[in-house]
Amino acid sequence: MERLLIIGCGDIARRALPELQRRYRVAALVRSSDRALADSGVELIQGDLDDAGSLATLAGRAERIAHLAPPADGGPIDLRTRDLLAALAPRGRGAMLPRRFVYLSTSGVYGDCAGEWVEETRAPNPQTERARRRLDAERALGEWGERNKIETVILRVPGIYASDRLPLDRLIRGTPALRPEEDVYTNHIHADDLAAILVAALVSKGARGIYNTADDGSMKMGDFFDLVADRAGLARPPRVSREEAVRRLPPELLSFMSESRRLVNRRMKAELGVLLRYPTVADGVPAVVQTA
């Protein structure tokens, strides 16, 4: 049985874990002891992506790697990913590189596409530092994988949601959304579907390159908030002009309201064989959302 090393064993990895453990001997890089992971049979490897020296034991530990950890804050470079790749270099006779490396990136690397449909061939145009860090990680991984003949898979992920990952606080606070005529298209994927996509990216023989990992929906941001509000029994958010939003909202929130695109997911379905459990947010947002 092949070995799998998970970097960033958070919500998505844990949702995928039962299926992954049926296929691989699973280890996870952790900063500190994690009783739940250990009790589930995952081997814990102590290390910190912000301490390059602590990663020295990772070389040769697994045939497959799933990198789900985000970059650190600040700057356009993802030092965490660069240090991880350097640590995976073989050390000593018989040491090996992984056969496949799967990385969870973000669809934010495309930047604003004025509501157009976006395929994986579109040139990246990141407009925020967080997206530039992700693109830096993608490019570092691509160069490293090509140089070392490693199968690399990049999953460009949009907004993740689930019953426990909904914008309820925003709705309760009454944070406004844009008027329909000025609103942006946004993209979504249910956390359970993303976990299944991660498994497919690790398992599928032909998996290579970049995949948009969005559902089939085509929805504007304000309409998503309206849907969640209706199912949670909350008031729909007030709609404001973009000019008013600039005055009222913090820059980070405004940045999400300044990029409009619709992701094409045909390649994901065709090459990874993904069958979405929740094809749209209308399928995935519970009919009755618990707000407390």
Give me the CATH number covering residue 150. Answer: 3.40.50.720
What is the model's pLDDT at position 120?
A: 98
What sign does the CA torsion over 89, 95, 99, 103 have? negative
- Buried-state track 199-213, b at ≥16 Cβ within 10 A, e below 16: bbbbbeeebeebbbb
The model carries a pTM of 0.96
**Residue 90: pLDDT band by 50, 70, 90 thresholds?**
confident
Instruction: Calculate mean pLDDT across residues 45-53.
Output: 97
Asked whether residue 171 is domain-assigned, the answer is: no
Tell me the percentage of the chain whose pLDDT exceeds 70. Answer: 98
Residue 89 has pLDDT above 60, yes or no: yes
Instruction: Calculate mean pLDDT across residues 218-225.
Output: 96
Residue 94 has pLDDT above 60, yes or no: no
Instruction: Calculate mean pLDDT across residues 49-76.
Output: 96
Instruction: Calculate mean pLDDT across residues 58-63.
Output: 94
What is the model's pLDDT at position 288?
A: 86
Instruction: Calculate mean pLDDT across residues 66-82.
Output: 97
Asked whether residue 252 is domain-assigned, the answer is: no
Asked whether residue 56 is domain-assigned, the answer is: yes
Asked whether residue 167 is domain-assigned, the answer is: no
Tell me the percentage of the chain whose pLDDT exceeds 90. Answer: 92
Closest C-alpha to 160, from 234, 105, 233 = 105
249-261, pLDDT tens digit by residue?
988 889 999 999 9
226-245, pLDDT tens digit by residue?
999 999 999 999 999 999 99
**Residue 9: pLDDT band by 50, 70, 90 thresholds?**
very high
Asked whether residue 195 is domain-assigned, the answer is: yes
Domain of 122? 3-162+187-216+262-278
What is the model's pLDDT at position 264?
A: 98
Mean pLDDT of the chain: 95
Q: What distance in Å separates the CA atoms of residue 241 and residue 215, rounded to the nearest whole number?
A: 28
Asked whether residue 245 is domain-assigned, the answer is: no
What is the model's pLDDT at position 215?
A: 98
Asked whether residue 235 is domain-assigned, the answer is: no
62 within 8 A of 72, measured Cβ to Cβ: no
Tokens of 21: 């453990």
Q: Which residues contact 292 (CB under 8 A, 6 or more apart)?
A: none
Asked whether residue 125 is domain-assigned, the answer is: yes
Instruction: Calculate mean pLDDT across residues 66-71.
Output: 98
Task: Name the domain count of the chain.
Answer: 1
The residue to which tokens 């390159």 are assigned: 209
Residue 216 has pLDDT above 80, yes or no: yes
Residue 95 has pLDDT above 70, yes or no: no
Phi, psi of 68, deg, nearest 5: -115, 5
